[in-house]
Amino acid sequence: MDTYTSKLRNKLIAEAFYLTKDIEKYGTGFFRIRKEIKDYPTMKFQYKEQVGGFLTELSYITQKITTVSANDTLNDTLNKERFGDILELIKLNKEISMLELSKQLHVSRITISRDLEKLREKGIIKRIGSKKVGFWEIV
């Protein structure tokens, strides 16, 4: 919990900043800083009162940053939708072939093969029998 108590240290400076719109509200800055950095667990904000003022310290530990591009996000969404479509088609026809799946979903056979493998790895589907005379089972 935050134990900071706001106090106006220099009324003339505070009023000048307020009139020039360099501050929005009196006494809320430290609280707003803490709120903004709350989502960054390695970032810390501290203050110390000293004679005639205060000292603030903003520190952080560098973390490895990974970025997910908009393209990756779109691909993940499309893949999840396609997985659902594949499962629906298997429910309708458990003997459906990869070629039929690729035609109905308008993607390459290799894409269907990769998607089916992912669904198998996740334990969602399994192939019963051979490639020629087998069928799909939704687990």
Give per-residue pLDDT as tens, 66-81: 666 666 666 666 678 8
Bridge partners of residue 138, in order along the sequence = 125
Q: Concatenated DSSP letters for the chain? A: --------S-HHHHHHHHHTTS-SSTT-HHHHHHHHHTT-TTEEEEEEEETTEEEEEEEE---------HHHHHHHHHHHHHHHHHHHHHHH-TT--HHHHHHHHTS-HHHHHHHHHHHHHTTSEEEES-TTT-EEEE-
Q: What is the pLDDT of residue 31?
A: 80
* 124, burial (CB in 10 Å: exposed 0-12, middle 13-18, buried 19+): middle
The secondary element (H helix, E strand) that includes residue 50 is strand 43-50
Distance CA(54)–CA(91), nearest Å, equals: 68
Residue 37 is predicted with a pLDDT of 86
The CATH architecture one would assign to domain 70-138 is Orthogonal Bundle (1.10)
pLDDT for 69 equals 65
pLDDT value for 70: 63
Instruction: Please state the domain extents for the chain.
Output: 11-60, 70-138
In this prediction, residue 88 carries a pLDDT of 92
**Regions in the chain scoring below 70 on pLDDT:** 1-4, 65-78
pLDDT given at position 43: 87
pLDDT at position 15, please? 85
Half-sphere exposure of 78 (CA within 13 A, CB side): 11
